[in-house]
Structure 1
Amino acid sequence: MTSPDAPYHAHIYYDPAERPVAAAMRDAFGQDPAILFVGAMTDRAAGPHPIAQYEVHFLARSRDAVVAAIEATGLRALVHPLTDDDLADHTTLAHWIGEPVELDVTVLDPPGVNQGVPRFGISDF
């Protein structure tokens, strides 16, 4: 069972036509006290993400509400926990909303390793 205090990320993907919807949801997340961090909109590939995206950080207790908010927009997203296995977080432990995006998993940390990248509540890719 997942602790309600377990850290989670959602990566919200968008194309140029969807950017206004993604920006509006980003603004709404920024006003939501359940959201601990809202990353910058990245209009290019970054990290394992091959298309434009931004991320939000939250706790497991807020997962259902975050998923519902994303689903209501029709945007694609990857929702995953943050464990000590970056690869599993983005693959086997992940939940896709909408059509999955093929990630570049070669840039993810191997299990138990963090290459010094803040992973929760501090910064995005």
Structure 2
Amino acid sequence: MIDPDAPYHAHIYFDDAERAAATELRDGFSHDAAILFVGDMTDGAAGPHPIAQYEVHFLGVAVPAVVATIEATGLRALVHPLTDDDLADHTTLAHWIGEPVELDVTVLDPPGVNQGIPRFGISDF
């Protein structure tokens, strides 16, 4: 059961051929009241994510709608909660849409530690 007030991220991955679809999805999320933050599109590795991606932030209540919206595009994505365990968030607690991307989990904070890096919501960025 998903806590409706729990913070979540989705990382939407794209390659050059998928950039237009990723941009269209990002634009749609920018106008969706359920989405609390839409990140910039990155063209390379960022944190544990080895390929181009961007992230969106939302609450647990929006997970089904966000997942359905991403699935409709055919893009790959990682959807995960934000807990005090970055590794679990990106692995055992994560839900992949499409083909998973091999993450660099060595850069994630150890369980119970957030090394001062803001992780959720507009005010964190």
Alignment partner of 1:79: what SS? strand
- TM-score scaled to structure 1, two decimals? 0.96
Unaligned stretches of 5+ in structure 1?
A: none
User: What SS class does the counterpart of residue 96 from structure 2 fall into?
Assistant: strand
The answer as to whether partners of 2:14 and 2:52 remain within 8 angstroms in 1 is yes
CA distance in 2, matches of 1:116, 1:15: 31
Identity, % of aligned pairs? 81
Tell me the equivalent position of 2:79: 79
Give the Cα separation in 2 of the matches to 1:3 and 1:46. Answer: 28
Indicate if the aligned counterparts of 2:2 and 2:61 stay in contact, CA closer than 8 A. Answer: no
The letter of the residue matching 1:46 is A
Q: Pairwise CA RMSD of aligned residues?
A: 1.0
The equivalent of 2:55 in structure 1 is 55
Supply the AA of the counterpart residue of 2:46: A
Question: What is the CA distance between 1:121 and its match in structure 2?
Answer: 1.0
What is the one-letter code of the residue matched to 1:86? D
Residue 69 of structure 1 and its aligned partner are, at CA, apart by: 0.3
Q: 2:28, 2:9 → 1: CA distance?
A: 16
What's the CA shift for 1:2?
A: 3.1
Q: 1 CA distance for matches of 2:99 and 2:46?
A: 19
1:102 aligned residue:
102
Letter in 2 for 1:26: R
Name the amino acid aligned to 1:39: G
Aligned residue type for 1:91: T
**Partner residue, 1:44:** 44
Q: Which runs of no fewer than 5 residues in structure 2 stay unpaired?
A: none
Give the count of matched residue pairs: 124
Cα distance in 2, alignment partners of residues 112 and 27 from structure 1: 34
Q: Which residue of 2 aligns with 1:120?
A: 120
For residue 16 of structure 2, what is the amino acid of its counterpart? P
Deviates more, 1:32-41 or 1:114-123: 114-123
4+ aligned runs moved over 3 Å, structure 1:
none
Separation of aligned partners in 2, 1:2 and 1:25: 24
Q: Distance in 2 between matches of 1:3 and 1:27?
A: 27
Which residue of the partner structure matches residue 5 of structure 2?
A: 5
